[in-house]
Structure 1
């Protein structure tokens, strides 16, 4: 499986940036248009978009960005894509930490974030009274660089 990636922003390719964000939004919430002020990483296979990563809620003073992703297959999350995904946050955006939010019952996402070195905090009722608790995962630059995914 050959995967290719491309980074998009509103200043360079606004249409592609919006398309990747809408792709991710549709997979996460079932509808496009849920992101505001973002840049994206598109993951392509056979020239088709199979995953979109959205970098949003960027706070350059704190050095923090939130990352959300949606995909049509779990196979997109290969080691080279992981490296590029976090390199954008840490090396290009200059962040010291990356945050992700997901439902407590998303064991696959929780396992992936823990595998790269993130610490998680479970917050009851943040998604609503009868919804699963919200998990906030935070990955620091130091934890990412010490993770097994950075070994060659």
Structure 2
């Protein structure tokens, strides 16, 4: 079982940065949510960064030590924060094209993929994924919550 960790932005952001290649500079001013295992170990984190209130955009980065952390409850909180709490209209996610598992997850969540050649360096392509609030609210994950069949 997992529980969420709030109000430890720096520690969770550092955890995610440490597990993310090319993220040595960290995230700067951000909001982060950690995921803790029963034993008290931090096993995953989500970092919301580069908030742009004008256009209503925020980026999300995440990393984990286990694939089991992404439960329905965690997923709900992960997208409730940007869309319901701070009023974003779009979440942006950057992923290496080599990270096939995360590419598959992003597509399953309803993100729209844009492949960018050399985005992660001369020899590595990457995706910029976008997810609008409308797409999230109409996704298979939230239809029941928002009263849709």
Q: TM-score scaled by structure 2?
A: 0.90
Give CA deviations for 1:67-118 in whole Å, capped at 9, x if unaligned: 0001110110111101110000101121001000010111111111111111
How much does 1:147 deviate? 1.1
Does 2:143 match 1:145? no
Which residue of structure 2 lines up, in the alignment, with residue 100 of structure 1?
A: 93
Say which SS state the counterpart of residue 120 (structure 2) adopts.
Answer: coil
How much does 1:38 deviate? 0.3
Which residue of structure 1 lines up, in the alignment, with residue 147 of structure 2?
A: none
Which residue of structure 1 lines up, in the alignment, with residue 46 of structure 2?
A: 53
Distance 2:24 2:111 in 1: 28
Which residue of structure 1 lines up, in the alignment, with residue 60 of structure 2?
A: 67
Give CA deviations for 1:25-77 in whole Å, capped at 9, x if unaligned: 00112776511110101111112211010000100111110000011101101
Q: TM-score scaled by structure 1?
A: 0.88
* Distance change in 2, residues 1:4/1:32 (3 Å): farther
Distance 2:29 2:102 in 1: 24
* Distance change in 2, residues 1:63/1:30 (3 Å): closer
Structure having the larger proportion of residues in helix? 1
Does 2:126 match 1:118? no
Unaligned runs of 5+ in 1: 9-15
Distance 1:120 1:86 in 2: 18
Which residue of structure 2 lines up, in the alignment, with residue 42 of structure 1?
A: 34
Say which SS state the counterpart of residue 51 (structure 2) adopts.
Answer: strand
